[in-house]
Structure 1
Amino acid sequence: MSDFSEEFRMPKGCPNCGNHMMKVSQAKSPDDHVYCTSCNTEVCAWEEAERIMAETPRSESEQLIEDVMNNKKSSEDDDR
C-alpha cells in the first residue's frame, strides 16, 4: 500500500498472524481494502472494519489500547 495509508487498531486480529494493527487508504471509501500491517494480508473492506470496530465487545483494557492507538494516529494526522 502507498504512503497514503492510515494505520489503526482493530479488536479482531489478522486471521493469518493475529496482529491487531491494520492499514487502509486515507480516503476510507467503504470498499477500500484493509490490510494487516505485519503480514500484509487483506483482512476485509473498510465498511466491514467500521462495523467490526463498532459492534465487537471488548474488555476495558482492550478498549483503552484501541482508544490510545486510534486517537494517536488521528492526532498525528491533524498536526500535518
Structure 2
Amino acid sequence: MSDFSVEFRMPKGCPNCGNHMMKVSQEKNPDDRVFCTSCNTDVCAWADAEQILAETPRSEAEQLIEDVMNNKKPSTDDNH
C-alpha cells in the first residue's frame, strides 16, 4: 500500500494475527481494500469495514479506545 493511506482501529481483529489496527487508502472508496498494519493481510473492502465500524457492539472501554485511535470525539452516550 502506498504512503497515501490512513490508519484506523477496527473492533474486530485481523483474522491472521489479531491486530486491530488497519490501513486504507485516503480516498476511502467503497471497493478500496483494508489491510492489517501488522501483517499486511487483506482484511476486507472499505465498505465492509464501514459497516463493521457502524454495527459492531463494543464495550464502553473498547469504544473509548476506538474513538481515541480513530481521532473522534469520545462518545458520551451511555447506551453502547
Using structure 2 for the length normalisation, give the TM-score.
0.89
CA shift at 1:8, angstroms?
A: 0.2
1:34 corresponds to? 34
Structure 1 residue aligned with 2:70: 70
What CA distance in whole angstroms lies between the structure 1 residues aligned with 2:61 and 2:42?
26
Which residues in structure 2 correspond to 1:1-80 (within 5 Å)? Answer: 1-71=1-71
Q: Which runs of 5+ in 1 are unaligned?
A: 73-80
Letter in 1 for 2:22: M
CA–CA distance in structure 2, aligned partners of residues 15 and 21 of structure 1? 12
What SS does the aligned partner of 1:58 have? coil
**Distance of 2:15 and 2:59 partners within structure 1:** 20
Paired residue type of 1:51:
Q
Identity score, percent: 85
Residues matched between the structures, number: 72
Q: Which has the higher contact order (CA 8 A, sep 6+)?
A: 1
Q: Which runs of 5+ in 2 are unaligned?
A: 73-80
Higher helix proportion? 1
Deviation at 1:36, TM superposition (A): 0.1
Report the RMSD for the aligned CA atoms in angstroms: 0.8
One-letter amino acid of the structure 2 residue matched with residue 4 of structure 1: F
SS of the aligned residue for 2:35 comes to strand
